[in-house]
Amino acid sequence: LFRLLPFVGQLNGARGAFANMAPSVAVVNEFLRRDNKPFMSQGNRPYVGLENGIQFQNLSFSYPGHDRQVLDGVNLSLPKGTTLALVGSSGAGKSTMADLLPRFYDPTEGQILIDDRDVRDFDPPSLRRAMGIVSQDTFLFNDSVRNNIAYACNRATDDQIVEAAKRANAYEFIVNLPHGFETMIGDRGVMLSGGQRQRLAIARALLRDPEILILDEATSALDSVSERLVQQAIDELSRDRTTLVIAHRLSTVQNAHQIAVLDQGHVVEIGTHIELLNKGGLYAQLYSMQFSHQEHPVGL
Ligand code: ATP
């Protein structure tokens, strides 16, 4: 029995750690439960691919239990193979809008159509398989670089993993790590910089090759070299892919086919970078503010 005592101590520690995690686990469980979301209908049409594009039609949204309309009558169109960037000040509704596409929430009014069919008609797992989400808090595991890239794609070959790393501008730094692709990362291994983490997340998405990409650009400030490498990787990932970008830095949206400027849940301007600059409205204002505060970008 005495020999078991140290293990009992360890178990107690583990129990403490789980107890600390309990509030977060409860929040996630609550979010994933279906029985408390009677408004979330489940279609059974398998999603087989995009032909023409995605329409956001007259979308309005309030968070459950809140009266305030976070989105109010938004109309946007995202043709297949193009990039639509959402910009606007903090709280404008950009992330909320992106959360409606994979159905983390459903709109309170209006609809999202994929090739003229409401997203609610599709079987949710098949729809989500077609979507890749690269967000600022993409999770990296305490595991090797290789396994982190191949996460959710465990049949990937070494050649495919190397290819994804190269296209994401991550190969050079990976091969310079102590054990290359086998280097352990996370708090039990090598710590990576913000830019390196983002490029690994992009390599993971490139390997998965989703048809529809939702890109929630990181707000963390990167040095200019790292920013350029991340930007090239993002361009590679979104090229010819149907992409919705939540942009925090205006430098990253200049090549988007369309930029929609959101303000308090409304689309107030839409156009290309040049069109919006020439218009001299909110986008032009945000652009000049951001570039006059290069060291301290505004909350975009
Ligand atoms: P940022 O650039 O800061 O990420 P954003 O444009 O993406 O901002 P959202 O995150 O979509 O804005 O938030 C829009 C509004 O909805 C904000 O007023 C925010 O406080 C509110 N909001 C966001 N998430 C929730 C939530 N889970 N419950 C209630 N209100 C929320």
Query: For residue 259, how far is its CA from the centre of ligand 1 (angstroms)?
Result: 19
Average pLDDT over residues 279-296: 80
pLDDT in the model for residue 256: 94
Residue 35, pLDDT > 70, answer no
pLDDT value at position 190? 79
Q: Is the pLDDT of residue 230 over 60?
A: yes
Whether pLDDT at 69 is above 50: yes
Residue 286 predicted with pLDDT over 60: yes
Give distance in angstroms: CA of 161 to centre of ligand 1: 35
Atom of ligand 1 nearest to the CA of 99: 11
Question: CB within 6 Å of ligand 1 — which residues?
Answer: 63, 66, 70, 88, 90-96, 299
Pocket test for ligand 1, best of 63, 69, 266, 298 (most atoms within 8 A of CB): 63
Could you give the angle at the alpha carbon of 43 between the alpha carbons of 38 and 44, nearest 5°?
135
pTM higher than the cut 0.90: no
Kind of pairing between the strands at 53-61 and 109-114: antiparallel
Q: What is the pLDDT of residue 5?
A: 43
Range of lowest pLDDT (35-39, 131-135, 284-288): 35-39
Q: What secondary structure does DSSP assign to 156-201, as a single string?
A: --HHHHHHHHHHTT-HHHHHTSTTGGG-BBSTTSBPPPHHHHHHHH
Q: Which ligand 1 atom minimizes the distance to the CA of 300?
A: 2
Its ipTM equals 0.97
pLDDT band at 37 (very low <50, low <70, confident <90, very high): low
* Closest to 217 measured CA to CA, from 102, 128, 299: 299
Under the phi-then-psi rule, with left for phi > 0, alpha for psi from -120 to 50, and beta for the rest, what region is 210? beta
Pick 194 or 291 by higher pLDDT. Answer: 194
pLDDT for position 4: 45
Tens digit of pLDDT for each residue in 45-57? 999 999 999 999 9
Higher pLDDT, 187 or 46: 46
Question: Which residue has better confidence, 77 or 38?
Answer: 77
Is the confidence at residue 20, as pLDDT, over 50? no
Q: Cα–Cα distance between 266 and 261 in angstroms, integer? A: 8
Lowest mean pLDDT, pick from 99-108, 169-178, 185-194: 185-194
